[in-house]
Chains A and B, each alone.
Chain A
Amino acid sequence: MDARAAALAWRPPPLIEAAWLRWAVYGGALLYLVLALGTLEVNWQRAAEGIERGGRFLAAFFPPDFASHWREIEEGLLESLTMTVTSTVFGVILSVPVALGAARNLAPLPVYLFCRAVIAISRTFQEVIIAILFVAMFGFGPLAGMITLAFATIGFMAKLLAEDIEDIERSQAEAVRATGASWFQLLAWGIQPQVLPRFIGLSAYRFDINFRESAVLGLVGAGGIGDTLNNALDRYEFGTAAAVLLIIIAIVLACEYASGFIRRAVQ
């Protein structure tokens, strides 16, 4: 065959091999988009009014007022930080056995299925929904928030850690096994060194998430800085609310930098 003719005729292979299926998928997606847009009812007049209202709402946040309710802010902040630290520590510790059980290359099938189920349950429900349950069980306050976050941490950490364990280099673990090491020694010598950097990085990231979530959980009565924010909004003290938001942003930023630094350091 003539190479030039072949080169001119050559096209990269399409994502979906069968032409009819390809056009059906594209056409179907387009049709769905058109129909979906058709069902949206947008009240443009209301939206125009809303922009102005939104502007006034935002303007009320300025200037931020740190001073007049500083005691409350400080209290909420300390509560949130306590909640974050304890829930991260408990959640991370509890996530390790779940992660080991959820790694297919370590656990037998029944244990694997059970641990994956635990992870799925923890990840299915949004923190706020779990928090409502725990507030009902333990009453208003940071205890409910702490338990909620610890529970959510288990699902998050265990899933990502289990995936990292499944991705380890098998030969390194095999070499440790070949020395006559016990199962726990295999974990400590063959697996832990391989997953430790990611484990630390994930813990730092989860700390950051837990702090952000602790601000949301206050809205359903689970204590912390979110409670302070909620009260401020209820009392139309937008200056105080702005101060709380700024503090949350500052702390999340600090967490972000810190976790980036930690991850680089442990590589």
Chain B
Amino acid sequence: MLVIEGLTKRYPTGDLALDGVSLTVPKGQVMALIGPSGAGKSTLIRCVNRLVEPTAGAVRLGATEITRLGDRALRRARRRMGMIFQEYALVERLTVMENVLSGRLGYVGFWRSWFRRFPLADIEEAFRLLARVGLDHMVDKRADALSGGQRQRVGIVRALMQDPELLLVDEPTASLDPKTSRQIMRLIIELAKERNLAAIINIHDVALAQLFAERIVGLHAGRIVFDGPAAALTPEVLTTIYGEEDWSATIRKVEDGDGDGDEPPSVEAARIAAAD
């Protein structure tokens, strides 16, 4: 379980990116974090694994208070938090397998990682996961030879290789086409459910968030302005998060675009209600 209390981040430039954010994400819950650009979504998930150092507040993962850890302990804690990035953030000149195995860097020593002598169990797990996402035929391809959707699947496998308790997902579909976006989101949700992982997913696309997440948190100017089930996301709520706009079009687009009908009925009903 992830507990965030009063998390505040002020950048050296003076910008207040997060303003006392408190949030609890129980095990196995997939939470979408929506909000306009600059609302602090990226900062929030980076403060959780301290790629960005928070100014105030506490982050606890299980019994570990992440915000109080020293360097070494922080590195150990990061192993428990898999991160999936916007634009994939694969190391482009390394192969698919090397990128996937880099998820194990927190577990193996420097020289073992330097000579790529990872434990057999890790390599086996890598093959299993790559097969699961349909990339087992591309093991030794360089990451920059892959398409966007393939790269993001490698990014997902890399995060899962850490054997995490929590997934931090930053705009996973930002540079993907609508169909691939859905496939990637579905894959993330499926894998999180299979492994009972908590997940925070930053996402621009409100329709996708509604479609795939059970809980939605809206961030505006560094504060939480909405926290509720996907079904409760009405045009009024979207207006508090993003500002005044005709939201009916945003919501209808989902109905038109998605024909495979694998979404939970509650979301469907909520969207129809919201569209009125």
Contact = CB atoms under 8 A, between A and B. Distances in A.
Interface of A: 169, 171-172, 174-182, 184-185, 188-190, 193-194, 196-197
B90 A175 contact: yes
Contacts of A189: 91, 94, 98, 102, 105, 113
B220 interface: no
Contacts of B105: 176, 179-182, 185, 189
Interface of B: 49, 51, 75-79, 81, 83, 85-87, 89-94, 98, 102-107, 110, 113-114, 155, 158, 162, 168
26 contacts: A169-B92, A172-B89, A175-B85, A175-B89, A175-B90, A175-B155, A175-B158, A176-B91, A176-B105, A177-B51, A178-B51, A178-B83, A179-B79, A179-B102, A179-B105, A179-B106, A179-B162, A180-B105, A180-B106, A184-B110, A185-B105, A185-B110, A188-B114, A190-B91, A193-B91, A193-B93
A221 to B, nearest CB: 43
A174 B89 contact: yes
A178 B102 CA distance: 10
A169 B168 CA distance: 20
Nearest to B74: A180
A180 B78 contact: yes
Contacts of B110: 182, 184-185, 188
A172 B87 CA distance: 10
B102 A194 contact: no
B93 A178 contact: no
A178 B81 contact: yes
A185 B113 contact: yes
Given A175-B102, A179-B103, A181-B75, 18 more contacts: A171-B85, A175-B90, A175-B155, A175-B158, A177-B78, A178-B51, A179-B83, A179-B106, A179-B162, A180-B75, A180-B79, A185-B113, A188-B110, A188-B114, A189-B91, A189-B98, A194-B91, A194-B93
Contacts of A196: 93
Point out which of A175, A190, A197 has the most chain B C-beta atoms below 10 A from its C-beta: A175
Contacts of B79: 179-180
Contacts of A176: 91, 102, 105
A182 B93 contact: no
Contacts of A171: 85-87, 89
Closest 4 CB pairs of A and B: A180-B106, A180-B78, A181-B105, A175-B89
